[in-house]
Structure 1
Amino acid sequence: MEVTLLGTGDTTGTPTPGCSCDTCERARERGVERTRYSVHVRNERTDEALLVDASPDFRHQFLERDVDLPDAAVISHIHFDHLDGLGNAYRLFGDLPVYAADETDPETGESVAGTVRSDYDYLDAVTVSAESPFEPFETCGFEVTLVPVDHPPLVCYGLAIEDPETGAKLSLSGDTSYGIPDESREALADPDLLLADGIVPAHLCEHHPYGGKHEDEDGVPRTFGTKHMTIEGARSLGAELDADETRIVHLSHFIPADEAFDEDLAVDGERYEL
């Protein structure tokens, strides 16, 4: 299993257009980016590739990285920075199976799969497969499981992606607070690599109107507001899940420049062999 981090940023990415903050300037100096979130998972055995979330930066990401176009995709939730790249399926694919959860979202009245189907019904290439959480399905030679996480007000899902031949396992937290249900934590546990959502350091919770929550034993918030983990929360999740390696993703440009490129904070283009 070859994992390439195509996009490791939040909704505006780093550098953010029009922004001259120290973190964006530092990224420019380093020649690194954190574009909108997306992950490429290649199965070397079957020569197939699975795309996790379709970033609006799809075209740029696939031109920048030496990876093949995907044979299938999984969508974790319907926020634009994870979904809108599906429009790139136009003229690029003869057929692109897209997997998403079948649970009805009380906020929207339809499932993630239903939203994808209705939003992209004009694209003949996109065929949507509705999948039930905790029920593994097969694609690209992998066994994939959608697991509910906590990203109010919309439903959102993390993923466990396993190679049944090699035993390699990739877990992705999805966009989530630290309040991931126990059953989902069990499904995500013991990965070779965990990609964990961590948008800012915990000390910035004082600037959020909802503050922080899910404090650790030292009172450090592991959730920023309600929707995302803090960087400390992402690290805690990696330890709790006993991940061999944790890379923190979905990072914002609000991270102070002297912290923004700490060793475990991912940037675009990182590649891992599991």
Structure 2
Amino acid sequence: MRVTLLGTGDTTGTPTVGCDCATCERARELDVERSRFSVHVRNDRTGESLLIDCSPDFRHQFLTQEVPLPDAALVTHIHFDHLDGLGNAYRLFDDLPVHATNVVDPATDESVAGTIRRKYDYLDRVSVAAHTPHEPFRVCGLDVRFVPVDHPPLLCYGVVLEDPETGAKCSLTGDTSFGIPDDSRAALADPDLLLADAIVPASSCEHHPQGGKHRNDAGVPRTFGSKHMTREGALDLAAELDADRTRLVHLAHYYPAGEAFAEPLAVDGETYDL
């Protein structure tokens, strides 16, 4: 499978609109971008493509990256930067199956699949398939599982993709704190490629009203506030999962300019063949 990182940024992206911070200026100097999160996976065996999360930057991403339109999509949760790009499906598809989870979220009284059905009921060429977390299903010739993670107050899911013929595996944490359940960690483990939420460095926790939590033995916070992993938390998770390769994604412009484009922080357009 070929994995293309269409969007590697958080909800505002980098450069952020109207921002002249040193990190956004550095991104402009380097001519790199972190648009809102989305991942494209092409199965070269079948010629099919899968989109993970529907970024509001959908149009820009597909005009600037050399990838085909997807044959199907997955949605990890209902925050706008992961879902609202689905509106771009209007007039582009004859049929687009969208896969999401069937668990009713107490915060919304709907499952992710139910929210998509309601919100995009006008897109008659989009069909929604609901799945139980941890139960594998096949789409675009790949075995897929949604695994619960920790992104309060909403339910959110990571994704495990495996090629049933080659054994190649890609794991995405989804938006999450370091407090990922043990059964989900087991499902995410041993990937050829791990895409891990790492919104800010741990040093940024001093600026968050809730500070940081899930501290390691050295006292470094692995969760920023309550919703996202820090860089240090994502790297600790990668080591725990024994990832062969790790790219840090869902990155904010709050990284100091001197750290913001260092390895293994990803930028849009990176591709990986598994």
TM-score category (smaller protein): over 0.9
Q: Does 1:102 align with 2:102?
A: yes
Partner of 1:10: 10
Partner of 2:199: 199
State the alpha-carbon separation in 1 of the partners of residues 263 and 206 from structure 2: 24
State the alpha-carbon separation in 2 of the partners of residues 125 and 63 from structure 1: 22
- Return the offset for 1:267: 0.1
Q: Does 1:141 align with 2:141?
A: yes
> Structure 2 matches for 1:1-274, cutoff 5 A?
1-274=1-274
Work out the number of aligned pairs and report it.
Answer: 274
- Return the offset for 1:263: 1.1
SS at match of 2:91: coil
State the alpha-carbon separation in 1 of the partners of residues 264 and 32 from structure 2: 15
Q: Deviations over 1:102-152 (max 9, x none)?
A: 000000001000000100000011100000000000000000000000000
Q: Deviations over 1:222-242 (max 9, x none)?
A: 000000000001101110000
Structure 2 residues without counterparts, runs of 5 or longer:
none
Amino-acid identity (%):
73
Q: Which amino acid aligns with 1:31?
A: D
State the alpha-carbon separation in 1 of the partners of residues 105 and 242 from structure 2: 31
State the alpha-carbon separation in 1 of the partners of residues 218 and 71 from structure 2: 45
State the alpha-carbon separation in 1 of the partners of residues 263 and 254 from structure 2: 17
State the alpha-carbon separation in 2 of the partners of residues 136 and 88 from structure 1: 28
SS at match of 1:29: helix
TM-score, normalised with respect to structure 1? 1.00
State the alpha-carbon separation in 2 of the partners of residues 113 and 188 from structure 1: 22
Instruction: List structure 1 segments (4+ residues) > 3 angstroms apart after TM superposition.
Output: none
Q: Which amino acid aligns with 2:228?
A: H
State the alpha-carbon separation in 2 of the partners of residues 8 and 125 from structure 1: 28
State the alpha-carbon separation in 2 of the partners of residues 232 and 46 from structure 1: 37
State the alpha-carbon separation in 2 of the partners of residues 192 and 60 from structure 1: 28
State the alpha-carbon separation in 2 of the partners of residues 17 and 111 from structure 1: 32
State the alpha-carbon separation in 2 of the partners of residues 165 and 63 from structure 1: 31
Q: Deviations over 1:179-208 (max 9, x none)?
A: 000000000000000000000000110110
SS at match of 2:26: helix
Q: Deviations over 1:55-82 (max 9, x none)?
A: 0000000000000000000000000000
- Return the offset for 1:21: 0.2
Q: Which amino acid aligns with 1:214?
A: H
RMSD: 0.3
